[in-house]
């Protein structure tokens, strides 16, 4: 049976290399390869069953057009020619009558590689003069903070965690996403490393940790500032390093000064002694590494929280040794810019923050959005204020194109539905954002049905609208070359890819921070208090904004990722009802038992689903997973129906963890929970 090489481009830090068994042009098995040393021959259960995504009943195989009311998901099959003619005609009309800004492309490329976003699609929308989308649903506050402080300096390679003597996993759950960090942490612990986990849930890793800080959601900022304060106050800050390598030291120190352990612990709902323990451990242990996840960014203080966490290794002098420093995203290590392949500079048209999509679709912008082109995204499942998004998508006068692999919740509202290839059916170029690999892969099976790749479809739309130009890169090979050519070390990358498909730490892609990798800021220094971030944050950088909980809605709803979906990708494979998890004391106070149907609600909406008691949650916190679809609850709403469209202090990010709710039992009946 042929064993073909591929790589996983889904929204996960690990970027696994894959071995795909194919028989009669059908995928039979997907397994991890040993080519990428981080993959080490194993992959997650999600991608092992990716064949069900490729061939499942929800797979879109042919272009189609709406044949019923929006949302009913009844379509009639049409040819590609008919579908693309309808799309191009409508784009042309909207551009002529309302202006091209009435066209909004909506994408988020977490589950596709570099060829499938910001290449031919950008060429089309840029030349058209369409509205621009601020892709802020994830990582925008973190990116703003990391760019401001370090210019997105590459972080500690995940392999190098084996060298650390202290590992702090802050706001991420590698048991669900990025599973390849687990054996490395285990190896480090087996040789005596200490583990600290900061998470409101007792995750599997928290269970094994030497110290677990179960913070109240949204309080990472005061906690990080209290550690910084202690380092300065106790003479444990590395003042010599700061004097030569950092700016903004005094400003940071002043901002941290009011945050005693006692005050921060009170707000975070933990013991002050736990902060003392962590601070001492951090000051005294080398190498020490912080794995900073994306959980701390998803609240009103998110950007400042990430900035304060990333400031810790600078203040404590943790750089300059293998296994010491921090990791956030390593995607910047490659300095690749797929926009280089677009062949069109971004226009100066208005920008719409995707976290405010509901508002935009409901007419809060001028000109109104009349044409929505959704690709690489499922906004109805993933964006805040779900009921506003749903109402917007239901607008009869909105023309919506959805270019997708499967019939998502959003696709049900399409006027034109275009079938997209998966990464196993096309050439793709993927880079990891945890693992520092770059991989070029080719189709292992032919496209399912009539599915087409993104660049084929967007290039064809460019032609139909007369926006193509001689020399535009069109094929996958041309796009790959254009992306690599624009990189500083493009020809070396090309040669490396041709020879090996990927690069790995032993070839030099595991830089040690402040030994062979330095801040990419203008003066190559750490900016601990960038003035632009201070101006952007409503309360100033590192300024704490209070918890939005009220007496009416006293519970904090969090919606972290699980091992079942990758953001909302593969959500169609999670068939059953998904429970809301709550602490037994919160359940008992409301007369709720395991399996009872409950209503979780606030002023934005409600979700009806089964309940499950979980003593691993801190009391006052309830949990409904990220990425579930409408079929996973009793009323078709998911956690995002309860998430406000307020924005983070930096980067315009989503405040998923600022959802405050109440829960009540609606029926005592055993429900089958997934
Ligand atoms: S989702 Fe992550 S762990 Fe799973 S195969 Fe892809 S990169 Fe590997």
Distance, CA of 28 to CA of 514 (rounded, Å): 46
pLDDT exceeds 90 at position 347? no
Distance 443 CA to ligand 1 centre (A): 18
pLDDT exceeds 70 at position 505? no
pLDDT exceeds 90 at position 285? yes
**pLDDT of res. 331:** 79
Contact yes or no for 371/94 (Cβ under 8 A): yes
Radius of gyration of the chain (CA): 24
Beta bridge partners of 27: 22
**pLDDT of res. 672:** 59
**pLDDT of res. 489:** 72
Secondary structure (H, E, C), 597-655: EEEEEECCEEEEEEEEECCCECCCEEECCCCCCHHHCCCCCCHHHHCCCCECCCCCCEC
Mean pLDDT of 4-8: 93
Q: Is 38 in the pocket of ligand 1 (CB under 6 A)?
A: no
pLDDT digits (tens, 9 = 90+) for 404-457: 999 999 999 999 999 999 999 999 998 888 887 888 899 999 999 999 999 999
**pLDDT of res. 338:** 80
Place of tokens 């945050």: 259
pLDDT exceeds 80 at position 655? yes
Q: For the chain, what is the mean pLDDT?
A: 93
The ligand 1 atom at the shortest distance from the C-alpha of residue 15 is: 7
pLDDT exceeds 50 at position 628? yes
Q: Whose CA is nearest to atom 1 of ligand 1?
A: 12
Q: Is 278 in the pocket of ligand 1 (CB under 6 A)?
A: no
**pLDDT of res. 330:** 83
Mutational test site, ligand 1, from 43, 181, 183, 434, max ligand atoms within 8 Å of CB? 43
pLDDT digits (tens, 9 = 90+) for 65-92: 999 999 999 999 999 999 999 999 999 9
Distance, CA of 660 to CA of 551 (rounded, Å): 10
Cα–Cα distance list, 128 to 203, 347, 376, 463, 467 (Å) = 47, 9, 20, 12, 7
Q: In 131-156, which positions are buried (b, 16+ CB within 10 angstroms) versus exposed (e)?
A: bbbebbbbbbbbbbbbbbbbbbbbbb
Q: Is 417 in the pocket of ligand 1 (CB under 6 A)?
A: no
pLDDT exceeds 60 at position 501? no
Alpha-carbon 6 to chain mean position: 22
The ligand 1 atom at the shortest distance from the C-alpha of residue 46 is: 4
Mean pLDDT of 567-576: 92
Q: Is 47 in the pocket of ligand 1 (CB under 6 A)?
A: yes
Mean pLDDT of 485-502: 68
Mean pLDDT of 195-219: 97
Q: Is 583 in the pocket of ligand 1 (CB under 6 A)?
A: no
Q: Is 43 in the pocket of ligand 1 (CB under 6 A)?
A: yes
10 Å CB burial of residue 538 (0-12, 13-18, 19+) is exposed
Q: Whose CA is nearest to atom 4 of ligand 1?
A: 44
**pLDDT of res. 499:** 53
Alpha-carbon 659 to chain mean position: 18
> Of 435-449, 495-509, 531-545, which has the strongest mean pLDDT?
531-545
pLDDT exceeds 50 at position 221? yes
> How much of the chain, in percent, has pLDDT values that exceed 70?
96
DSSP string, 139-205: SHHHHHHHHHHHSS-----GGGGGG-SEEEEES--TTTS-TTHHHHHHHHHHTT-EEEEE-SB--HH
pLDDT digits (tens, 9 = 90+) for 170-195: 999 999 999 999 999 999 999 999 99
**pLDDT of res. 364:** 84
Q: Is 10 in the pocket of ligand 1 (CB under 6 A)?
A: yes
Whether the full predicted model's pTM is greater than 0.85, yes or no, is yes
**pLDDT of res. 506:** 40
Least confident of 181-185, 238-242, 326-330, 527-531: 326-330
Q: Whose CA is nearest to atom 6 of ligand 1?
A: 8
Mutational test site, ligand 1, from 15, 16, 158, max ligand atoms within 8 Å of CB? 16
Q: Is 561 in the pocket of ligand 1 (CB under 6 A)?
A: no
Q: Is 12 in the pocket of ligand 1 (CB under 6 A)?
A: yes
Mutational test site, ligand 1, from 19, 30, 44, max ligand atoms within 8 Å of CB? 44
Contact yes or no for 111/376 (Cβ under 8 A): yes
Contact yes or no for 555/619 (Cβ under 8 A): no
pLDDT band for position 333 (cuts 50, 70, 90): confident
Beta bridge partners of 607: 600
522 secondary structure, DSSP code? T
pLDDT exceeds 80 at position 110? no
The ligand 1 atom at the shortest distance from the C-alpha of residue 8 is: 6
pLDDT band for position 3 (cuts 50, 70, 90): confident
The ligand 1 atom at the shortest distance from the C-alpha of residue 432 is: 7
Distance, CA of 530 to CA of 553 (rounded, Å): 36
**pLDDT of res. 504:** 44
Q: Is 564 in the pocket of ligand 1 (CB under 6 A)?
A: no
pLDDT exceeds 50 at position 507? no
């Amino acid at each position: 049976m042929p064993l073909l090489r591929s790589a996983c481009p889904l929204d996960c830090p690990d970027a696994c290399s894959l071995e795909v068994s194919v028989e009669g042009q059908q995928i039979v098995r997907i397994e991890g390869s040993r080519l990428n040393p981080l993959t080490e021959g194993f992959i997650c259960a999600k991608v092992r069953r990716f064949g069900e995504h490729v061939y499942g009943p929800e797979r879109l195989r042919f272009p189609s057009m709406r044949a019923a009311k929006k949302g009913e998901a009844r379509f009639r099959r049409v040819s590609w020619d008919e579908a693309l003619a309808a799309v191009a005609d409508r784009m042309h009309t909207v551009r002529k009558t309302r202006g091209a800004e009435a066209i909004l492309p909506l994408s988020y490329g977490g589950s596709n590689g570099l060829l499938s976003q910001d290449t031919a699609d950008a060429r089309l929308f840029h030349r058209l003069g369409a509205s621009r989308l601020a892709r802020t649903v994830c990582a925008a506050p973190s990116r703003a903070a990391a760019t401001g402080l370090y210019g997105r300096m590459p972080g500690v390679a995940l392999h190098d965690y084996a060298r650390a003597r202290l590992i702090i996993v802050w706001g991420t759950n590698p048991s669900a996403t990025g599973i390849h960090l687990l054996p490395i942490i285990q190896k480090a612990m087996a040789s005596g490393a200490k583990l600290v986990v900061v998470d409101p849930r007792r995750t599997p890793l928290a269970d094994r940790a030497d110290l677990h800080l179960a913070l109240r959601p949204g309080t990472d900022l005061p906690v990080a500032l209290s550690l910084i304060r202690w380092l300065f106050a106790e003479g444990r800050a590395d003042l010599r390093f700061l004097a030569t390598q950092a700016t903004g030291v005094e400003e940071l120190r002043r901002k941290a000064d009011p945050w005693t352990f006692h005050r921060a612990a009170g707000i975070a709902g933990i013991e002050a002694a736990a902060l003392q323990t962590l601070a001492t451990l951090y000051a005294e242990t080398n190498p020490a590494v912080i794995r900073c996840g994306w959980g701390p960014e998803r609240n009103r203080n998110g950007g400042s929280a990430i900035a304060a966490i990333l400031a810790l290794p600078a203040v404590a002098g943790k750089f300059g040794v293998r296994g010491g420093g921090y990791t956030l995203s390593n995607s910047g290590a490659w300095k690749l810019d797929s926009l280089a392949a677009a062949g069109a500079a971004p226009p100066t048209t208005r920008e719409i923050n995707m976290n405010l999509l509901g508002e935009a679709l409901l007419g809060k912008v001028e000109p109104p959005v009349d044409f929505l082109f959704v690709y690489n995204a499922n906004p109805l499942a993933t964006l805040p204020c779900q009921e506003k998004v749903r109402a917007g998508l239901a607008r009869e006068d909105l023309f919506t194109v959805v270019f997708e692999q499967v019939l998502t919740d959003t696709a049900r509202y399409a006027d034109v539905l275009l079938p997209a290839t998966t990464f196993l059916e096309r050439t793709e170029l993927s880079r990891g954002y945890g693992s520092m690999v770059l991989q070029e892969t080719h189709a292992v099976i032919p496209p399912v049905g009539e599915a087409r790749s993104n660049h084929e479809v967007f290039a064809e739309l460019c032609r139909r609208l007369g926006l193509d130009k001689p020399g535009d890169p069109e094929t996958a090979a041309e796009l790959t070359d254009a992306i690599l050519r624009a990189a500083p070390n493009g020809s070396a990358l090309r040669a490396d890819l041709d020879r090996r498909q990927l690069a790995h730490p032993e070839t030099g892609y595991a830089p040690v921070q402040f030994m062979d990798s330095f801040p990419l800021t203008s003066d190559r220094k750490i900016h601990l208090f960038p003035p632009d971030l201070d101006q952007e944050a409503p309360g100033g950088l590192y300024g704490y904004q209070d918890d939005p909980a009220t007496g009416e809605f006293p519970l904090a709803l969090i919606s972290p990722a699980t091992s079942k979906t990758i953001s909302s990708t593969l959500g169609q494979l999670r068939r059953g009802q998904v429970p809301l998890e709550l602490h037994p004391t919160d359940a008992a106070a409301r007369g709720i038992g395991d399996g009872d149907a409950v209503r979780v609600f606030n002023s934005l909406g409600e979700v009806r689903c089964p309940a499950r008691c979980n003593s691993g949650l801190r009391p006052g916190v309830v949990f409904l997973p990220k990425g579930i679809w409408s079929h996973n609850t009793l009323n078709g709403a998911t956690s995002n129906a309860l998430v406000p469209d307020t924005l983070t202090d930096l980067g315009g990010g989503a405040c998923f963890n600022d959802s405050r709710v109440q829960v009540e039992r609606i029926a005592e009946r055993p429900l089958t929970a997934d």
